[in-house]
Structure 1
Amino acid sequence: MLNRVILIGRLTKEPELRYTPTGIAVTNFTLAIDRNFKNAQGEREADFVPCVVYRQLAEFVANYLAKGKMASVDGRLQIRSYTAQDGQKRWVTEVIGENVHLLSPKDNSGQEPAAQSGNHSYGHEVNLDEDIPF
């Protein structure tokens, strides 16, 4: 069996870092990913994919990713359910990130994030004026 997802997109808002009651870091963020085709009006549409990362990777993402920055996420798709306060069963689909690569150019200070141990890293600069081949 195989459950593998690789995404490249831009963050729609600032990542949200929180900690579980047992002290595990959790960061939630959403990637906007352009579709490869245009709609009937000639506009590109996008998919908005919720992503979750844990532990050191969560802190790394919260420190180095920001709204509008391009990133790649390598992970697995998770579909879970919960019972809402109104008693209705709700379903959530999200990507659990195992590797995250920062793809946006260096910030104004010229600093890149320091290499971190674990399942995360930063990517090389991407010319954002060119299309990324898929």
Structure 2
Amino acid sequence: MSLNVVNLVGRVGGEPDVKFFDSGSTKCKLTLAVKRPTKDSDQPDWFNLELWGNEARIAADYVHKGSLIGVQGFLKFETWSDRATGAERSSPVIQVNRLHLLGSKQDNNASTGAEYREDEF
């Protein structure tokens, strides 16, 4: 048996990168900062998220830099060849199946114009 499940809660690090395709599909990429308690302070871990379809459209409409969200999904690795060296590269990405908007409506409205600071998530 194998299991690949990721659950994260954190703050969005930037505005969503949304792409609409001629086929009708929607893709959204986000970064998510999640606190990791350490001995001296809370350090953020940064995750790259990828959302498709309805979840991507919801993110495009309601998620902004600094928004508090929860996600459920799985870990995958994007791979490519480096153009300069030809070396194989990879990057971990969380493929999101479910998006949860956790901040209040007031928080989401305020985050559209507010600067995001790592110490506030």
| Shorter-chain TM-score range | 0.7 to 0.9
- State the shift of 1:107 in Å: 2.4
Gaps of 5+ in 2: 110-121
Looking at both structures, which has the greater relative contact order when contacts are Cα pairs under 8 Å and sequence separation is at least 6? Answer: 2
How far did 1:100 drift?
A: 0.5
Once residues 24 and 75 of structure 2 are traced to their aligned partners in structure 1, the CA distance between those partners, rounded to angstroms, is 24
Structure 1 residues 108, 88: closer, same or farther in 2, change over 3 A? closer
1:45 Cα deviation from its structure 2 partner: 0.8
Q: Check if 1:69 corresponds to 2:70.
A: no
Question: TM-score by structure 1 length?
Answer: 0.72
Tell me the amino acid that sits aligned with residue 64 of structure 2: A
> Which residues of structure 1 form unaligned runs of 5+?
111-134
Which amino acid in structure 2 is aligned with residue 96 of structure 1?
Q
The alignment of Structure 1 onto Structure 2 pairs a total of residues equal to 107
Q: 1:90 to 1:21 in 2, by over 3 A?
A: farther
CA contact (8 A) 2:16 2:63 kept: yes
* Partner Cα separation in structure 2 for residue 32 and residue 108 of structure 1: 17
The sequence identity of aligned pairs, in percent, is 27
